Structure 1
Amino acid sequence: MPEIIDKRVNLEFPLGHHLHCMIVQIPNRLKRAGTGYTITDPQEKWQLVRSVLDLVISGEGNLKKLHFLLFPESSLPASRFDDLLAIISQKFRANTVTVFGIEHVRLHEYRALLERFREDNAEAIELVDKDIDAGDVLDVPVNWCCIAIKEANGSLRVFLEAKSHPFHGEEYIDTFHDLYRGRHFYLFRSRPSCFNFMAIICLDYLYRDLYTSNIRQIIDHANNLFFSTRQGLDALFVIQCNPKPEHRAYRDVISGFYGEYLENTPGVRETVTVFGNVSDESRIGDAKAGQGFGNSSIVINRNHRLAQVKFSEFITDDFDGAPVCRLRFGSGTRLIYINLPQQHEIDPRTTRVPLKIHTIMELDDSGAWRKITFDEEDYEIVRA
């Protein structure tokens, strides 16, 4: 099972105020290759990613308040990894966390990158080296992500994670050289703001079985954190390239995560879970349009009592009876700018809505991002 490694980072988030997150729901177009899956249109994809970065850098409106930027799984060409880090380091504002998935590389390349950023990934290197010493695995494909944190003093810290469970296209890359399974997750404990968060890749959220699963590891670790420090896991970011985000398996895990099936879970009871998916223009191999993808979402504890509404770009529901409130977005190519709720105790008299959508943006005909405006008739209150 993957180990959870605690990391202290210097982030000065505003105390007593909600944080801001942007979900980048853009398409992935992937094809089979010797390294697993690669992006079919790397230059076009980089231009799309760069357009989002430029928008964040300009900081129009309240985008200058952005704290978390979430790109999907396998969304960045590996050749552009250094370019993205350079932009974050040189042009992003301090106290910014950027999570992004990168196309597959070989294990020896992933190991070299861990070594390059050894100061932040020393524990992970030890775990990877155990696998390398155990067999001939240096050419195994790795599906990986990066959590790039620009701290309050402007320094850039780079943390790398490998996906610990393959998706449907990765399970059969090669009978003898399957996808490498990552051995660690990071839990970031930011100071002085006292905000704890994690980022994982898609199926790392699912059970393998009830007793030895990634998600159970996260719950138990957060519970131990709660009982020893009275702190919990404030946010869990799950980046996806998922054609079936509505699968019952996700509903079952969400129910267990928020305390329906497992033991009491005080460490994650107030966790905000953000699922950032690709858009419905995605393709994996020969998969055709309309067969899935899309639907990023935010899940919070049902005690927040989020009113159920239906809107042209999003709806709220309880995910078919799970003990949660869910804000579920559409499947198109979008930038979704939201706040992360910070109210841990809800005043029963309040009318404050714990989740707020600041902006949803789409691409216009010229390839620029523009805000979507909503008509009143598109809005419907289903029930409180």
Structure 2
Amino acid sequence: MGYGVKLVKIIEKHVELDFPLGHHLHCLIAQIPNRLRRRDHLFKLENAEEQWRMVQSVLDLVAAGDGNLKRLHFLMFPEISVPLSRFDEMLSTIEQRFRPNTVTMFGLEQITLEQYRALLIRFHADNAEALECVEHDVDSGDILAMPVNWCCVAIKESTGKVRVFLEAKTHPFRGEEFLDKDHDLYRGRHFYLFRGEPACFNFMTIICLDYLYRDLYSSNIKQIIDHSNRLFFTMRQSLDALFVIQCNPKPEHRSYREVLSGFYGEYLEDTPGVRETVTVFGNCSDESEIQGVRCAPCYGISFVAISAKHKMLPYQEREFSSDDFDGAPVCRLRFSSGTRLFYFNLPLHHELDPRSSRVPLKVHAVLRWAGEEWVKVGDGEGQASA
């Protein structure tokens, strides 16, 4: 199959994550601003040092573990939110200061395919299959100068070992497409499906529009559903969580509602592989700016979606609310648009506690940026008790 026809490959990776059995897991969305400018046909952070100070402040908070942050399992940063020059420092912080059984997902500044290929070679132990996909594409044409929108999933296993997995975005937004093919975004060829053991927790991380991508031959989300169904039918396991990191000016576009409806609706067939999946969309904040993109209001509104089989009544606070996303077959926890840290729990498997009085998603803390530090939003400002 040539480079022009692409089917995304789902690569399973076994990772040692000793999550607590029978207890819900915790996730922190860092909804921080992205200010991006095009330089040499690549989207770069306008002020990388200022951005790194904010990213580092979140890392320091997680490493300190104040409150119940010691129980954090998943940390999400937005797409294109970490300076490339700080990549090694980011990994070093995770290795030296984070607790075992922690998964950190973050997007970095765009690079060329040649640079991305070099990173896959550097982290070959965890990315051998992904490197094969890239080598196949490189062999098909002169494409090493193409831009790559990429992310890293850094997993600190129960043993303390840090594993580094890299993914490239499979589908561009309009600002990443050009008539000049050399400057068009490289289409990633793989997703990772992480099989956490011994806790038996399966999850994926993808970048923004990868969730929506479809063409005449296939769609990313259908492949994820089919793969998860095979997992269920052969091993009685399922996809527990799908994390979508974003830099999305239109987080509530109807296309997201439509795909979520198809993902959770089971309109034409049973989909037991994703029936209990928790989908987490982590966006950048409403202070973000992307050169060439104009809209109002823009960005923010990270949210969590679960099947409507869960019980969540409509609820409204200043910093978050719950709804059904305009009639979709989901329960949605919708966050506000400002620069915030949202700390919440992922729900337990629905069938374990079907009582209608049990709220499956709970917000443990909301923190706002106060110029130099993160401050917990207090009573009367939209904070819910843990």
Answer yes or no: same fold by TM over 0.5: yes
SS in 2 for 1:135: coil
**Residue 379 (structure 1) shift:** 9.4
1:6-43 CA distance string (max 9 Å, x none): 00000000000000100000000001121421111100
CA distance in structure 2 between the aligned counterparts of 1:210 and 1:252, rounded to whole angstroms = 18
- Residue 88 (structure 1) aligns with: 94
Structure 1 residues 305 and 216: CA distance shift in structure 2, 3 A: same
- Residue 380 (structure 2) aligns with: 375
CA distance in structure 1 between the aligned counterparts of 2:158 and 2:354, rounded to whole angstroms = 36
**Residue 88 (structure 1) shift:** 0.4
1:177-199 CA distance string (max 9 Å, x none): 31000000000001100000000
284-293 vs 330-339, which moves further: 284-293
> Residue type matched to 2:91 in 1?
L
1:214-268 CA distance string (max 9 Å, x none): 1111000000000000100000000000001111110110011113445321100
CA distance in structure 1 between the aligned counterparts of 2:373 and 2:92, rounded to whole angstroms = 23
- Residue 4 (structure 2) aligns with: none
SS in 2 for 1:292: coil
SS in 1 for 2:265: coil
Q: Is the 8 A contact 2:145 2:182 kept in 1?
A: no
CA distance in structure 1 between the aligned counterparts of 2:265 and 2:295, rounded to whole angstroms = 36
**Residue 207 (structure 1) shift:** 3.8
Q: How many residues align?
A: 378
Q: Is the 8 A contact 1:141 1:180 kept in 2?
A: yes
- Give 1:54-133 correspondences, 5 Å limit: 54-133=60-139
CA distance in structure 2 between the aligned counterparts of 1:139 and 1:233, rounded to whole angstroms = 35
> Residue type matched to 1:373 in 2?
G
SS in 2 for 1:169: helix
Q: Of the candidates 254, 259, 262, which is equivalent to residue 248 of structure 1?
A: 254
> Residue type matched to 2:195 in 1?
R
CA distance in structure 1 between the aligned counterparts of 2:274 and 2:82, rounded to whole angstroms = 30
- Give 1:74-223 correspondences, 5 Å limit: 74-172=80-178, 174-209=180-215, 212-223=218-229
- Residue 307 (structure 1) aligns with: 313
Unaligned runs of 5+ in 2: 1-6
**Residue 289 (structure 1) shift:** 7.4
Across the aligned residues of Structure 1 and Structure 2, the Cα RMSD in angstroms comes to 1.7
SS in 2 for 1:148: strand
SS in 1 for 2:125: helix
> Residue type matched to 1:19 in 2?
L
Q: Is the 8 A contact 1:336 1:360 kept in 2?
A: yes
> Residue type matched to 1:105 in 2?
I
Q: Of the candidates 309, 328, 332, which is equivalent to residue 326 of structure 1?
A: 332
CA distance in structure 2 between the aligned counterparts of 1:69 and 1:102, rounded to whole angstroms = 15
> Residue type matched to 1:357 in 2?
V
CA distance in structure 2 between the aligned counterparts of 1:379 and 1:337, rounded to whole angstroms = 11
SS in 2 for 1:180: coil
- Residue 41 (structure 1) aligns with: 47
CA distance in structure 1 between the aligned counterparts of 2:192 and 2:297, rounded to whole angstroms = 33
1:238 and 2:244 aligned: yes
1:276 and 2:282 aligned: yes
**Residue 298 (structure 1) shift:** 0.2
CA distance in structure 1 between the aligned counterparts of 2:112 and 2:72, rounded to whole angstroms = 33
SS in 1 for 2:175: coil
SS in 1 for 2:174: coil
Q: Is the 8 A contact 2:302 2:335 kept in 1?
A: yes
> Residue type matched to 2:362 in 1?
K
Q: Of the candidates 6, 10, 13, which is equivalent to residue 12 of structure 2?
A: 6
Q: Is the 8 A contact 1:35 1:106 kept in 2?
A: no
> Residue type matched to 2:300 in 1?
G
Q: Is the 8 A contact 2:107 2:245 kept in 1?
A: yes
Q: Is the 8 A contact 2:249 2:299 kept in 1?
A: yes
SS in 1 for 2:183: coil
TM-score w.r.t. the length of structure 1 is: 0.95
Structure 1 residues 361 and 289: CA distance shift in structure 2, 3 A: farther
CA distance in structure 2 between the aligned counterparts of 1:111 and 1:2, rounded to whole angstroms = 17
1:39-89 CA distance string (max 9 Å, x none): 111000000000000000110010011000000000011111111001101
CA distance in structure 1 between the aligned counterparts of 2:117 and 2:293, rounded to whole angstroms = 31
1:83-103 CA distance string (max 9 Å, x none): 100110111100000000001
1:359 and 2:365 aligned: yes
Unaligned runs of 5+ in 1: none
CA distance in structure 1 between the aligned counterparts of 2:198 and 2:99, rounded to whole angstroms = 17
Identity %: 63
Structure 1 residues 14 and 170: CA distance shift in structure 2, 3 A: same
Structure 1 residues 317 and 344: CA distance shift in structure 2, 3 A: same
CA distance in structure 2 between the aligned counterparts of 1:185 and 1:262, rounded to whole angstroms = 25
Q: Is the 8 A contact 1:170 1:179 kept in 2?
A: yes
> Residue type matched to 2:96 in 1?
Q
SS in 2 for 1:319: coil
Q: Is the 8 A contact 1:304 1:325 kept in 2?
A: yes
